Amino acid sequence: MAETVRDARFEVDETATGDMRLSVFGDWVLASVGKIDAGLRDVAERSLDRQMIIDLAGVERIDTAGAFVLQRTMQACGGRTDVSQFQNIPAGADLLLSRVGRSMSPCDIEPRPVNAFVLMLNRLGMGAEDAYLNAARFFTFVSLVFGALGRLALDPRRLRVVSTVHHMEEAGLNAVPIVGLMSFMIGAVVAFMGARILSQFGAEVLTVELVGIAVLREFAVLLTAILIAGRSGSAFTAAIGSMKLREEIDAMRTLGLDPNEVLILPRVLALVTMTPLLVFVAMLLGLTGGLLVIWFALDVSPSLFLSRTQDVVVLSHFWVGIIKAPVFAFAIAVIGCHQGFLVSGSAESLGQRTTLAVVQSIFTVILLDAVFAMIFLELGV
Amino acid sequence: MSAPAIEIRGLKNAFGPQVIHENLDLAIERGEVVGIVGGSGTGKSVLLRTIVGLNQRTAGSVKVFGEDPDELDGAARSALERRWGVLFQDGALFSSLTVAQNVMAPMREHLRLPRALMDDVAGLKIAMAGLPPDAGAKYPSELSGGMRKRAALARALALDPELIFLDEPTAGLDPIGAAAFDQLILDLKQSLGLTVFMVTHDLDSLHTACDRIAVLAEKRVIAIGPLDKVAQTDHPWIREYFSGPRGRLAAQAQAAQ
């Protein structure tokens, strides 16, 4: 059905007076003029300061691109309008030519390129400024969240219960299977490695301590936090960011709703309350993984594992692990929401901010974990 | 060659239990500018999306240039898509490309053109859509709503389509810009034989640019024809639409010209 496109052709004659006569044939449409574009530019170069007559008698079809290259050729010669002109214009094409002639202005295609060295300095400076501004913005944001939390404490009825519960389900309950499975596998791996290496010293029985302490103090809480950062931190950024792009957050402000209260508090509270519970689940399943491996690999019966765990793994290990959970959760939720609010302009920015939210949350979680480790070391727990 | 630009028969569209269109017939000849009007929620945009194949219809047939877009395979479908351009309601420009790169995107995809010619043609389309030259290097997020619409029109016109779908093209434009837009559509129609399918609420556009008006109500096209004929149809919505205060003003403006 789509008609085939004939080639665009042209012939140039020079008259005795040195004027040029360009006869054009065939289809002058976008699909065909690409091939003769270079040739036509040569003609335009040669035609400088001469008169030009363009004869369209042989034209079968013409569209804006065809009209454009002809107008460009015509205007390049800069001839007098009483002599230089189009002849034998097909019906309808005169309007097209004049319409196109009025719109002959080259436009910028992309932002002007800058000298590479200047660009590098520019990036360095902007990066430094950004780092400073982002840190300042982030701490401002944290203080805003604390402010909103304070207002909520004074007037608990302001809590968006439905929204909070929704996020609790989304970020907490729905994360149970994946958090549990991962913790179970890590517990099993730690037990297996421990059993093999400790058996070389004849100390297989210490595997129970290894699994108990590693899972309770570090693995359960760290793995849960990393999973939460990937699952919920990124979701917070994406959700708030796309609301920002669609001006929903501006709309909230004009309606007198406080976005901090409506969007951030439910997410922060949901994550802070649910993460300790998730960590608890992770601890149980991590220990179960260890228990099963030790049972099968070392033939230590589950009851022996449990009683030994009770004897040697003191309760403080559990508290060291669980107390970190709300702190990590708070950091992840605040970073996720903050990055969401920083989304601006394009879909690409949304993607960048989401990535950044995950990277920053995981980094912050590990940094905080190191700080906790030092504190507990000093405290001797 | 003589097949109408768009031919719809017995179209039915439903989202779950909610029926949007039922037994909808519509034929648009080549070279015509047809304005689609109707109250909010009568499925004007859904009709547009159905014709260009973005919405799976429930029943009925849709033919564009005599072919059903849904029945064509890859290459034939792509050839058909090259013959139409779509201007979406809020532009739908690619946000990671500049305006000029947006206009060049369909050229890059479908044609092999020298870079210099593509730049030139992009500049031409951008100027024809009424944008200043420096807008070419800007990203969509740096433009105002009206400028985004013009940029989107430039992209819709990039391949010199035979048929162009416009979804509320003049909404969000100032009256001068809207009038220039109507004039541009008229020019293109006269010079290129462009067929235009225009969903619009702009009564001035209906008066200036449209050859025929199709009114969507009660899940189908209840009236189609030249504006003055349609305006006389005895239907409560049509009467209210054309003889309301805005309708009268637009008619007076047209009569004064």
Cross-chain Cβ contact B160/A29 below 8 Å: yes
| d(CA B90, nearest CA chain A) in Å | 12
Chain A touched by B164 (CB under 8 Å):
no
pTM of the predicted structure, to 2 decimals: 0.71
| d(CA B70, nearest CA chain A) in Å | 16
In terms of DSSP H, where are the helices of B32-83? 44-51, 74-81
- Residue A215 amino acid letter: V
Query: Is residue B68's pLDDT more than 50?
Result: yes
Instruction: Kindly list the distances between the CA atom of residue A349 and the CA atoms of A61, A131, A161, A356, B137, in Å, as whole numbers in the listed order.
Output: 44, 17, 31, 10, 18
Beta bridge partners of B50: none
Residues 6+ apart with CB under 8 A from A50: A18, A19, A20, A77, A79
How much is the pLDDT for A292?
93
Q: With bands split at pLDDT 50, 70 and 90, how would you rate the model's confidence at A79? A: low
CA angle (A236, A240, A242) in 5-degree steps: 120
Residue range B129-143: average pLDDT? 85
User: Which residues in A183-265 belong to E strands, given as ranges?
Assistant: none
Instruction: In whole angstroms, give the CA distance from residue B19 to residue B21.
Output: 6
How much is the pLDDT for A1?
37
Q: Are A195 and A293 in contact (CB under 8 A)?
A: yes
| Chain B hits for A68, Cβ within 8 Å | 120-121, 124
Phi first, then psi: what are they for B19, rounded to 5°? -90, 125
| Chain A hits for B96, Cβ within 8 Å | 346-348
Question: B130: nearest CA in chain A?
Answer: A103
Question: A106: nearest CA in chain B?
Answer: B123
Instruction: In whole angstroms, give the CA distance from residue A180 to residue A187.
Output: 10
Instruction: In whole angstroms, give the CA distance from residue A96 to residue A69.
Output: 12
Pairing of strands B33-38, A20-28: unpaired
Query: Is residue A256's pLDDT more than 50?
Result: yes
Q: Are A44 and A38 in contact (CB under 8 A)?
A: no
Cross-chain Cβ contact A37/B114 below 8 Å: yes
Residue range A169-192: average pLDDT? 94
pLDDT, mean over chain A: 88
Cross-chain Cβ contact A346/B83 below 8 Å: no
Q: With bands split at pLDDT 50, 70 and 90, how would you rate the model's confidence at A81? A: low
Question: A64: nearest CA in chain B?
Answer: B160
Question: B98: nearest CA in chain A?
Answer: A110
Phi first, then psi: what are they for A55, rounded to 5°? -105, 115
Identify which of A72, A92, A105 has the shortest CB distance to residue B127.
A105
Chain A touched by B39 (CB under 8 Å):
no
Q: Express each pLDDT in B74-104 by its tens digit.
A: 788 888 888 888 888 877 888 888 898 898 8
Which of residues A143 and A31 earns the better pLDDT score? A143
Q: With bands split at pLDDT 50, 70 and 90, how would you rate the model's confidence at A265? A: very high
Query: Is residue A180's pLDDT more than 90?
Result: yes
| d(CA A93, nearest CA chain B) in Å | 6
Query: Is residue B45's pLDDT more than 60?
Result: yes
Query: Is residue A219's pLDDT more than 90?
Result: yes
